[in-house]
Amino acid sequence: MTFGQQPQPNPNYEPQGGSNLNTGYGAQPQYRQYQYANQQPQYQQPYGQPQYAYAGNGAAGGAAIDGQVAYSYDEARRASVTKAYGEMTIGLIVTAVVAVLGQATGLYYAFLMTTGMLGMIALCIAQIGLAIALGARIMRMSATSARVMFYVYAALMGFTLSSIFMVYDLGSIGVALGITAAFFFALTMFSLTTKFDMLKFGPILMVGLIVLVVSQFVLMLIPGVSGMTQVMCAIGLILFAGMTMYDAQSTRALFAQYEAQGPEMIRKISILCALNLYLDFVNMFLYILQLFGSRD
Range of the domain at 92: 6-14+55-292
pLDDT of residue 289: 93
Instruction: Tell me if 40 is assigned to some domain.
Output: no
**Considering only CA atoms, which of 149, 140, 152 is closest in space to residue 264?**
140
Q: Of 30-39, 138-147, 258-267, 273-282, which has the strongest mean pLDDT?
A: 273-282
pLDDT of residue 30: 64
Percentage of residues of the chain with pLDDT beyond 90: 34
Q: Is 148 helix (H, G, I), strand (E, B) or coil?
A: helix
Start-end of H helices in 138-262: 143-160, 164-167, 170-193, 202-221, 226-258
With vertex at residue 265, the alpha carbon angle to CA 148 and CA 145, rounded to the nearest 5 degrees, is 15
DSSP state of 29: P
Instruction: Tell me if 35 is assigned to some domain.
Output: no
Distance CA 132, CA 138 (A): 10
Distance CA 229, CA 196 (A): 32
CA atoms within 13 A on the CB side of 277: 31
Instruction: Tell me if 171 is assigned to some domain.
Output: yes
pLDDT confidence bin for 256, thresholds 50/70/90? confident
Instruction: Tell me if 135 is assigned to some domain.
Output: yes
Contact (CB, 8 A) for 39 and 63: no
Average pLDDT value for residue range 12-36: 47
Instruction: Tell me if 24 is assigned to some domain.
Output: no
Instruction: Tell me if 23 is assigned to some domain.
Output: no
Distance CA 252, CA 258 (A): 10
**Considering only CA atoms, which of 183, 187, 177 is closest in space to residue 247?**
187
pLDDT confidence bin for 232, thresholds 50/70/90? confident
DSSP state of 201: G
Q: Is 238 helix (H, G, I), strand (E, B) or coil?
A: helix
Per residue in 37-79, pLDDT (tens digit) is 344 444 344 444 434 343 445 544 454 444 454 445 566 567 7
Angle of the 263-292 helix axis to the 59-104 helix axis, nearest 10: 50
Distance CA 150, CA 135 (A): 10
pTM: 0.75
**Considering only CA atoms, which of 201, 274, 211, 273 is closest in space to residue 241?**
201
Provide the number of structural domains found in the chain.
1
Instruction: Tell me if 43 is assigned to some domain.
Output: no
Instruction: Tell me if 71 is assigned to some domain.
Output: yes
Contact (CB, 8 A) for 244 and 88: no
The CA-to-CA distance between both ends of the chain, in Å, stands at 29
Distance CA 267, CA 142 (A): 9
pLDDT of residue 71: 46
**Per-chain mean pLDDT for the chain:** 78
Distance of CA 34 to the CA centre of its chain: 11
